[in-house]
A and B are shown apart, each in its own frame.
Chain A
Amino acid sequence: MRVKIFVYLKDGVLDPQGKAVERSLHALGYKEVQDVRMGKYLEVELDAPSRQAAEERIREMCDKLLANPVIEDYRFEIEE
């Protein structure tokens, strides 16, 4: 199955890249933009006996390596 993983900075952690993009969008006239937060997107192809087993493994991968729990949160979607 294919898993789409999103890793992003926690609320309260400074995101200077997001701020820079926000300023650029404002400069282009998109005044309605309120806030931009930037993150990472990963796609992982993996074998797992069940959806639940895949979820467990992915959570472990995120906690161990893909996200730093001090500054980042994550969520993921599984496609079968």
Chain B
Amino acid sequence: MRWGVIVFPGSCDEQDVYDCLKNNLRQKVDFLWHKDPLAGKFDCIVLPGGFSYGDYLRSGAMARFSPIMKGVVEFAQKGGLVLGICNGFQILCEAGLLPGALTRNASLQFICRRVFVRLEETDTPFTCAGKKGQLLKLPIKHGEGCYYADPTTLERLHKNRQILVRYVDAKGRTTPAADPNGSLDHIAGVCNEGRNVFGLMPHPEDAGEKILGGEDGLKIFSSVIEACDKRGKRAWLD
């Protein structure tokens, strides 16, 4: 399988994603410049973290209009896998590929630390290698990660089981103190109804080897690899 990692002006975690996939998981990875059209065969497109367009106006508001995004939307509509991490999650929400929005952390502080998230659903290409209820220790580093959705959308998220990861404490409980940024319902990541687009605030690519403090993040990437292997070697985009 082949991964594509999009580079927007102001992205800063694309190299971390690249290294994690290439060195830790021996994957084929290409960088994709945001101004180019999306061309080539890819199984999974990653929108990395960072501060695309300086976060001006709103995080992700301008990046969603980058030329490559037209191709990303078409790729997702055809069933291609799209993973948005941190700023990538914000861009996917702004682009309407994922429901809801990410707003300023309730504490108003930029948070940079490791947190625990709980895998809520495992019937998706991004979580299939994990077990339901499993805890992952992953770093977060963001100022605008407070997930918001209106009540109707939240109800739909529950009904369709689109909440894939929640912030919890070390024992897996959703205590108020375990929600680092004030996210609605402890939501750390959601997928679309088709379950082929996933966005999350924590950074799995920064938890890909022991020397970095843990390798729980590999669970997300190896899920994608497993899912792609299962459905054959075919790439989603010609």
Please give the residue numbers on chain A whose beta carbons come within 8 Å of chain B beta carbons, in ascending order.
9, 12-14, 16-17, 20, 40, 65-66, 68, 70-71
Considering residues B62, B103, B104, B150, which has the most beta carbons from chain A within 10 angstroms of its beta carbon? B103
B33 within 8 A of A: no
Q: Is the CB of A66 within 8 A of B106?
A: no
CB of A14 within 8 A of CB of B58, answer: no
Q: From residue A38, how far is it (CB to closest CB) to chain B in Å? A: 10
CA distance A40 to B58 in the complex (A): 11
User: Is the beta-carbon distance between A17 and B104 smaller than 8 angstroms?
Assistant: yes
> A16, A65, A66: which contacts B107 (Cβ < 8 A)?
A16
The answer to whether B107 touches A14 (Cβ under 8 A) is no
Q: How far is the CA of A14 from the CA of B148 in the complex (A)?
A: 9
In the bound complex, residues from chain B placing their C-beta under 8 Å from that of A40 are 57
- Determine how close the nearest CB of chain B comes to the CB of A67; give it in whole angstroms: 9
Could you tell me which B residues sit within 8 Å of A by CB distance? Answer: 57-58, 61-62, 65, 93-94, 100-101, 103-108, 146, 148-150, 182
> Across the A-B interface, how many residue pairs have beta carbons closer than 8 Å?
37
Contact call A16/B106, Cβ cutoff below 8 A: yes
CA–CA, A71 to B65, complex, Å? 19
Interchain CB contact (< 8 A) of B108 among A13, A17, A65, A66: A17
A70 with B57: in contact, given A14-B182, A16-B107, A17-B108 (CB under 8 Å)?
no
Q: Are the CB atoms of A16 and B108 closer together than 8 Å?
A: yes
Which of B57, B101, B106, B182 has a CB less than 8 Å from the CB of A71? B101
Across-interface contacts of A65 in B (CB, < 8 A):
57, 61-62, 65
Taken together as a complex, chains A and B put the C-alpha atoms of A62 and B104 apart, in Å, by 20
Q: Are A71 and B61 in contact (CB under 8 A)?
A: no
Decide yes or no: A14 and B108 within 8 Å by CB, A68-B61, A70-B101 being known contacts.
no
